[in-house]
Structure 1
Amino acid sequence: MPPSQKSHLQLPTDLKALPQILSWFEQLHQPQIARKLWLRFQLALAEAFTNAVRHAHKNQSPEVPIDIEVTIFEDSIEIRVWDWGPPFDLHKKLSEMLSNEENDSGGGRGLQLMESITDHLSYTRTADDRNCLLMVKHYGGDSGLSQRSITDFN
């Protein structure tokens, strides 16, 4: 299924860029996406960018870019955030946090938040030595099935 909208943004490693990201993301909102869901995904995006700045790019120059791509489909939205940090095992970290929940260490809450908001969350190393955080959320119900179902049965 082709995307109905796709947009890319490249930013410096600087938390001061967060308002620019949120403004850019807001301009991408589509009427078929419930406002509440959109705001939750906006929060996940803010957490992803903040983690890239604070953790992945911790010892990097502010000029090192962070790339963000938003792709909106008829029934889902995908956000990709690329960073130049060291590789990181997201699922191992989430598992460790879950088993150590009673310790309440205070770290990693952004990861847990992103996981709770998204239907799919992954962090993989790319061929160009970057990392790509992928967040996917299906919002579909009726809007995701209507057009496809009609054409599939004709």
Structure 2
Amino acid sequence: MLSIVQRDHLTVKSELKLLNQVQQWFEKFCRQNLSEISWLENQLYRLNLALAEGFTNAVRHAHSALPPDTIIEIEVCLWMDKLEMRIWDYGQPFNPDAIAEPKPGTLQVGGYGWFLLRRLADRVVYERGSDGRNCLVIVKHATEQ
């Protein structure tokens, strides 16, 4: 088992205006490791987009009925062969697998974010923790270039 290279944690209020701060924090985290973990640079845009989607979903959907000072916690863990993001929210739990994937050439209301997340990452899980929070787990494995 490979040991973790770096781990970082960010706690922010549930406000869309903080998305830029979240993305800058993530990019700085990744850029600190580019010389050691070369595959990361090729995936940085995709991972930052996945993080943005996860964060905005927490703000817009999970926390829509909660005060803006409700916190969202984000943890990023980096190994030599994968990156894992965890985004915790306090919203009502739901089953993302119940969301129908948009069919090509058709329009539907909602569901595009989960469709996008599944395309950007190798593994996406949304689960309810014993502490009453939900956790979105996004995992991207190193790919041979």
Fold agreement, TM-score > 0.5 = yes
How many pairs does the alignment contain? Answer: 139
Rounded Cα–Cα distance in structure 2 between residues aligned with 1:22 and 1:102: 31
Give the structure with the higher percent helix. 1
Unaligned segments of structure 2, at least 5 residues: none
Per-residue deviation, 1:2: 2.1
Rounded Cα–Cα distance in structure 1 between residues aligned with 2:17 and 2:119: 26
Specify the alignment match of 2:18 in structure 1: 17
Rounded Cα–Cα distance in structure 1 between residues aligned with 2:22 and 2:129: 23
Which of these residues, 54, 69, 72, is aligned with residue 66 of structure 1? 72
Show structure 1 runs of 4+ deviating over 3 A. Answer: 100-103
Rounded Cα–Cα distance in structure 2 between residues aligned with 1:129 and 1:122: 16
Identity, % of aligned positions: 38
Which letter maps to 1:97? E
CA RMSD of aligned residues (A): 1.6
The alignment's TM-score, normalised by the length of structure 2, stands at 0.89
Contact 1:68 1:80 (C-alpha < 8 Å) held by counterparts: yes
Rounded Cα–Cα distance in structure 2 between residues aligned with 1:77 and 1:92: 26
State which structure, 1 or 2, has the greater radius of gyration over its C-alpha atoms: 1
Contact 1:75 1:141 (C-alpha < 8 Å) held by counterparts: no
Q: State the Cα deviation string for residues 90-126 of structure 1 (Å, max 9, x = none).
A: 1222xx235x666411422111111101100000000
SS, match of residue 6 in structure 1: strand
- In the TM superposition, 1:1-154 aligns within 5 A as 1-29=2-30, 30-31=33-34, 32=37, 33-93=39-99, 96-98=100-102, 103-141=106-144
Rounded Cα–Cα distance in structure 2 between residues aligned with 1:92 and 1:118: 19
- Tell me which moved more, 30-39 or 63-72: 30-39
